[in-house]
Chain A
Amino acid sequence: MTAAAPALRQTAALAWRSIITTIRLPQAWFPALFFPLVLMAIFTASFGGAPGAVPGFPPVRGFLDFAVCGAIVQGVLIGGTSAGAAFATDIEGGFFDRLVASPTSRVAILTGRLGASMALGLFQAVLFIGIAWIFGARVDGGITGFLVVLLIAVIFAAAVGGLGVYLAIRTGSGEAVQGMFPLFFALLFFSSAFFPIETMTGWYAAVARVNPISWLVESMRLEIIGGATVGTTLAGIGTALGLAVITIGASALALRRRLRVAA
């Protein structure tokens, strides 16, 4: 047995606990599934006439094909916020201290959380694409394209999960973490998550262009609507990885600082 084995088992156990508590608490998963689907439906019904009629709109089979990746990213953002709030509640409620007081691997405390976020992200991506498929959307990139979308979604889920953990450790309050959500929502709208950047003008377009959410969604989207290249695929994976490195690194540092203070 290698030294990493207990940490892996603890990660799996803690991730499983996070997943179970998420499933048992409807307010933890319902918004992360409901709101992206409802917005996707409303946008598809409202903007169904856009493809082919709005100058700058990319060629797509239907608006739903265009919209599904925005829904996935939105769902991951909502899920990550809830997960961060749940982690903060663990800190408030003393579960965290109990973990720290046990011989649980410090790494597993973090990776357990992230694992649960990644599992939820994977589930959301599969579910949303499946529902879009039922309503007529198709994945142009086939199985490979589908897998790339899932991969980016999962890495992004880890990134958002890391951000949630970071905020939870820094604020120690579930309410404060949940209170950050409007900010994420703004980030989402000021991007090309719901509508193509080519149709935007002025400062709004400028903001959307430098918003990493745009890079992420656009890369995922090309796998579905067609036109993905090795370059666009790597750009999406790279963006997600970059975000993940930053947020997980920050949360690991915050965790270490907190444990040092506690010791």
Chain B
Amino acid sequence: MRVVTVSLGLAGRNLLLVRRVPSVFIPSLVMPLFILIATAGAFHGIGALPQFAGESYLAFTIPMAAIMGAGFAGINSGMTLARDLEGGFFDRLQSSPAPRLALVFGPMLAAQARGILTTAVVFIAGMIGGVMLPGVGPTLLIFAFGLLFAAAASFWAIGVALRSRTVQAAPIMQLVVFLSVFMSVAYVPLDAMHGWLGAIARYNPVTYILNASRSAELTGTVNWSETWPGLVSAAALLLVLGAFALNPLRHLENR
């Protein structure tokens, strides 16, 4: 139980920082918005491909922008942690009896909270562009995948932070999350992809998270046959990246 209360306490502090440092907060909101508008605007014409079956390209892009926003939220948590490690605030946490798990789960929860916010912002922007919410169940499912991806991305970024102990590692955190989304089905469905990238997308777990989220957005129903591969992919990511984030906790004192 202490893990939960301490994690929540740390997450609260993390969110406070985001609110009080606009240079961190504003980009984390603007970035998913920019991705939504720029993608839907620049590549609007690609929606004419037969693989889209006449769906709105803006609606098609909403789940990708939401996932990207969640990914940013995760990176943000890793960067805050890296700053804490560099500046010494982490020493305070480490010398306190706070459960070690909370040192990872706190920032992870903060990422999820921010992921909810960015997903909501993406939905609102979509509505301004004329795409209504797909219904309660599908909307909640898209939020849920945002939460899962925010957790996965934060685990990655936290794992990098705990190993590198410097904000200089931020580009590594960002690059991997970007590429994991862009090398999936970010712009077109799997059957419209060409060449080697199509092959990578087929084995990229983010592809199945996006497919599940997209199916909910575009069909307005929760389609189990599209959803379960997404859930399995998210679970696999959380398992692997969770281990990546938690493992350094055992060696904190060895530096």
**A residues bordering B, Cβ < 8 Å?**
27, 38-39, 41-50, 53-57, 182, 186, 189-190, 194-196, 198-201, 204, 208
Q: Is the CB of B46 within 8 A of A50?
A: yes
Partner of A42, one of B48, B49, B183: B183
Nearest 5 A-B pairs (CB), nearest first?
Answer: A199-B45, A45-B197, A48-B194, A204-B41, A189-B38
Partner of B195, one of A39, A45, A189: A45
| Residues of B contacting A200 in the complex (Cβ-Cβ under 8 angstroms) | 41-42, 44-45
Whether B53 sits at the interface, judged by CB under 8 Å, is: no
Q: Is the CB of B188 within 8 A of A53?
A: no
**Given A45-B198, A46-B187, A47-B187, also A54-B38 (CB < 8 A):** no
Cα-based distance from A186 to B27 in the complex (angstroms)? 13
Cα-based distance from A134 to B147 in the complex (angstroms)? 42
Contacting A at CB under 8 A, from B44-62, are: 44-46, 48-51
Whole-angstrom distance from the CB of A183 to the nearest CB of chain B?
11
**Additional A-B contact list (5), CB under 8 Å, known A46-B46, A46-B197:** A42-B186, A50-B46, A190-B38, A196-B45, A204-B44
Whole-angstrom distance from the CB of A47 to the nearest CB of chain B?
6
Whole-angstrom distance from the CB of B60 to the nearest CB of chain A?
12
Q: Is the CB of B194 within 8 A of A44?
A: yes
Whole-angstrom distance from the CB of B168 to the nearest CB of chain A?
10
**Given A41-B197, A46-B192, A46-B193, also A190-B41 (CB < 8 A):** yes
| Residues of B contacting A186 in the complex (Cβ-Cβ under 8 angstroms) | 34, 38
Whether B43 sits at the interface, judged by CB under 8 Å, is: yes
Partner of B48, one of A45, A53, A189, A208: A53
Q: Is the CB of B49 within 8 A of A50?
A: yes
Q: Is the CB of A53 within 8 A of B50?
A: yes
Q: Is the CB of A56 within 8 A of B195?
A: no
Q: State the main secondary structure of chain B at its contact with A.
A: helix
| Residues of B contacting A201 in the complex (Cβ-Cβ under 8 angstroms) | 44
Q: Is the CB of B49 within 8 A of A49?
A: yes
Partner of B45, one of A42, A44, A45, A50: A50
Whole-angstrom distance from the CB of B166 to the nearest CB of chain A?
14
5 contacts between A and B (CB under 8 A): A39-B182, A48-B194, A49-B188, A50-B49, A196-B45
Cα-based distance from A122 to B226 in the complex (angstroms)? 47
- With both beta carbons as reference points, the residue of chain B lying nearest to A31 in the complex is identified as B171
Q: Is the CB of B45 within 8 A of A204?
A: no
Cα-based distance from A43 to B44 in the complex (angstroms)? 14
| Residues of A contacting B50 in the complex (Cβ-Cβ under 8 angstroms) | 53
Cα-based distance from A38 to B37 in the complex (angstroms)? 21
Whole-angstrom distance from the CB of A59 to the nearest CB of chain B?
15
Encode B113-147 as 1/0 by CB contact (under 8 A) with A.
00000000000000000000000000000000000
Whole-angstrom distance from the CB of A31 to the nearest CB of chain B?
8
Q: Is the CB of A194 within 8 A of B43?
A: yes
Partner of A47, one of B27, B43, B198: B43
**Given A50-B45, A53-B49, A201-B44, also A45-B196 (CB < 8 A):** yes
Q: Is the CB of A56 within 8 A of B27?
A: no
